[in-house]
Amino acid sequence: MLFQTRKCPCGRENDYETCCGLLHSGKARAATAEQLMRSRYSAYALKLIDYLYDTTHPDKRTSDLKLQMAAWAERAEFLKLEVLAARQGRAKDKVGKVEFIAHYRQYGEMKQMHEVSRFRRFDGSWHYFDGEID
Ligand SMILES: [Zn+2]
């Protein structure tokens, strides 16, 4: 696979295989909301729509969610993730918030998305709940 020897798209100084790749393949679970958030950014970059769907909180899985996510992943070229802040979302928390800026290119233009995402535990695992875009 193309990303095996590359740095992980999430911006950590790790190879994909030892970073978000572990979560995408199901070998590990996100310990924190921030880790899940990073892995979802990487999943968008790699167009892993099933992973994005599975890590969306069941209450937020609309019937067209996969189509929406696939369309978004297709349109954008994800360039860089900056995590600005994380509140709660640790091993013993049930909820968490992560503020980030995603840098991407769309139709030849450089863009940024500034979002505060909310995460909740479901069945013991972190899931994306919703987000406020700035
Ligand atoms: Zn990663």
Per domain, the residue ranges of the chain are: 16-133
Task: Report whether 96 contacts 90 (CB < 8 A).
Answer: yes
CA separation for the pair 112, 96 (Å, rounded): 22
13 Cα–ligand 1 center, Å = 8
How many angstroms separate the alpha carbon of residue 2 from the centre of ligand 1? 15
Cα 63 to averaged position of ligand 1 atoms, centre (Å): 28
Residue 2 has pLDDT above 80, yes or no: no
Distance CA 91, CA 72 (A): 30
**Rounded-to-integer distance, Cα 126 and Cα 119, Å:** 6
Q: Ligand 1 centre and the CA of 121: distance in Å?
A: 20
Cβ atoms within 10 A of the Cβ of 78, count? 20
Q: Tell me the CATH number for domain 16-133.
A: 3.10.450.50
pLDDT in tens, 104-132: 999 999 999 999 999 999 999 999 999 99
What's the pLDDT tens digit per position in 51-88?
999 999 999 999 999 999 999 999 999 999 999 999 99
